[in-house]
Amino acid sequence: MKKLTIKSWAVDDRPREKLMSKGASALSAAELIAILISSGNKKESAVDLSKRILASVQYNIHELAKLSLNELTAFNGIGPAKAITIVTALELGKRRQLESFIHKPKIHSSQEVFSMMQPQIGMLAHEEFWALYLNNANEVLSKYQLSKGGITATLVDVRLLFKKAIELSAVAMVICHNHPSGSTHPSKEDKVITKKIKSGGASLDIKLLDHLIITEKSYFSFSDNGEI
């Protein structure tokens, strides 16, 4: 049985033509991916193949972004070049979201910190510890990665944390790290380092406003829970 190719579809149903006439927002995720990969395989059109790839991650774009090149090329019709194209597009999307915070955003709540940092560390398979340095207006002067660790822990150099704060003339900071396990429950070590940083900041007039534990879908705020 001969497969139905995209070229045989009505013009209005073809992804590229649909994007040109109606805009990118009118396309489904599968249609957008179909444009990226251009072609399918002997049995599937690019759209059908894209639908199958999305189905494997329950149509969740965040989960799709986690697939490795090897996992993508396991799909018939996806070679290294197409897999790289998909990964590149998803990475650009993530960076676009991150760059929306370039112009000194103001921090008003833990939710805003989560929205800023979740795309950066929420889906990592290892722990990373970051600091957001703030001025008097609670504007973010800099985001800085302090450490990168293993699956269950990362070490923090408190001296480096405050050295950077002094260099930036920051008056406050928010620290955050991720839990690859998906648990937002703070460990004993999390509580100890929070107390240590708060104490150190008090002597330097650099206030620790919050410490967030971030996962893919949620977070724990030490401040919101009265632990700072």
Residues 6+ positions from 76 with CB-CB distance below 8 Å: 41, 43, 44, 49
Cβ count near 14 (within 10 Å): 19
Greater pLDDT, 14 or 103:
14
> Closest Cα to residue 186, out of 155, 221, 151?
221
Q: Work out the pLDDT band at 149, boundaries 50, 70, 90.
A: confident
Whether residue 153 contacts residue 127, with contact meaning beta carbons closer than 8 Å, is answered with: yes
Give the whole-angstrom CA distance, residue 18 versus residue 85: 21
Whether residue 177 contacts residue 213, with contact meaning beta carbons closer than 8 Å, is answered with: yes
Q: What is the pLDDT of residue 14?
A: 83
Q: Which class is domain 110-221?
A: alpha beta
Least confident of 41-50, 77-86, 97-106, 192-201: 97-106
Taking phi over 0 as left and psi of -120 to 50 as alpha, with beta for the rest, 58 belongs to left
Where exactly are the structural domains of the chain? 6-99, 110-221
pLDDT at 11 over 70: no
Q: Model pTM?
A: 0.60
Residues 6+ positions from 164 with CB-CB distance below 8 Å: 131, 133, 142, 144
Cβ count near 206 (within 10 Å): 21
